[in-house]
Amino acid sequence: MNMSQNYLPEKNISTLKNIFRIGVALNLTYLVVETVFGFCCHSMGLLADAVQNLCDVAGMVLVLSAYKLSDPVGTNRFNFGFKKGAMLIMALVALVTGVLLTFIIAGSVHQIHFPRYLDGRAISLVAAIGVLVNGVTAGLFLMVYRKRLRMRGAFRHMLADAIVSLVVLVAGMVIFFTRWYILDTLVALAVVIVIIFALWELFHNSTSLVLDGVPARVEYEKLVRIFYEQDAVEDVYHLHVWAVAPDTNVLSACVRLREDNGSETVAAVLRDRLVKEGISYVTLEFETGQQEACQNTDAKE
C-alpha cells in the first residue's frame, strides 16, 4: 500500500491566497458600488452584472475556504478533514444566485411594461469601473495562469466579467445618446442567461462531487493505461477515482503483479505518474498469481 499527497510549496500557496484576497477585496468593493448605483439608476443591466460579480466573489471566497478547510489533517471521524465543506458553500451560492436571478428577471419584465428614465452616462461610468476592476483582477490571475488549474478558471471568469461590464458600458452610452431604454433590459436578460449556464456548470460539478464521480479534469482511461504500461503489472482492477474536494483527487486500486517482488518499486513509479495526472492521494494493494487478497476481500463484502 502506498499513499502520497501532491503538496505545493508553502510560499506558492501563500502567494495564491494573497492574490485571491486582493481579488475579493477589489470585486467586493465594486460589487457594493455597482449595486447601489444599479438601484439608484434603475438599471437592471448593472444589477445583473452585480449578480455575476457576486458569483465570482463567492467563487474566490470558495477557493480561499478550500485552502482553509484543507489545512487540518483530519479527525478520527472526518479522515480527510473538512474539504467537502466547500461543496456546501457551492450549494449555498447556487441557491442565493437563483433567488437573485428571479428578482432580476421579474424586474426586467416590469421594466419592459413600465419603462422609466435611465441615466446612461452614470451606467457607463459605473460599468467602466467594472471593466477596470475585473481587468486588474484578471491580470493578477494571469500572472500564475499556468501554475494552477483553479487559477485558469478564475482568470477566465474575471475576463468574462470584464467583457460583460464592457457590454453594459456600451449599452449605457447607447442609452445616453438614443434614449433606447429597453437596451438595458435586453442586456440584463442576456447576462441572466450567461449566469444560468454558469450555475448549471456549478450544479454539475457539485453533483459529481457528491456522487463521487471521476473528477472532470481526470482521464480515467489514461490512468488505466499508466498501470498497464508497467512491465511488472499483469492486471489492475477495482480502480476507483473520486474527489474529496474540488482540487483534491483520490485513487485506489488492486494491482496484480507478474512476480511476487518489486511492489515497492512499482508503487513508487505509479505514484509519481499518478501525481502528475492530478491525483493527490494514491492507495494501492498488490497481489500475485498466488495471492488474491483484493478479490477475497470483495467476496466477503
Domain boundaries along the sequence of the chain: 10-210, 220-300
Tally Cβ neighbours within 10 Å of residue 141. Answer: 24
Of 163, 188, 181, the C-alpha closest to 108 is 188
Residuewise pLDDT in 10s, the chain (301 residues): 333 334 344 445 677 778 888 888 999 999 999 999 999 999 999 999 999 888 888 878 777 776 665 555 556 666 666 666 667 777 777 888 889 999 999 999 999 988 889 999 999 999 999 999 999 988 888 776 555 555 666 777 788 889 999 999 999 999 999 999 999 999 999 999 988 887 887 777 777 777 778 887 788 899 999 999 888 888 898 999 988 776 778 999 999 888 766 788 888 899 999 988 888 889 888 887 655 556 554 443 3
**Residue 108 pLDDT:** 92
**Residue 80 pLDDT:** 61
Per the CB < 8 A criterion, the answer to whether 17 and 67 are in contact is yes
What is the pairing mode between strands 281-287 and 248-257?
parallel
**Residue 5 pLDDT:** 39
Q: How far apart are the C-alpha atoms of 28 and 32, rounded to whole Å?
A: 6
Grid cell for residue 117: 428614465
Q: What is the CATH number of domain 220-300?
A: 3.30.70.1350
pTM (predicted TM-score): 0.70
**Residue 292 pLDDT:** 59
**Residue 257 pLDDT:** 87
- Domain covering 10-210, topology: Alpha-lytic protease prodomain-like (1.20.1510)
**Residue 42 pLDDT:** 92
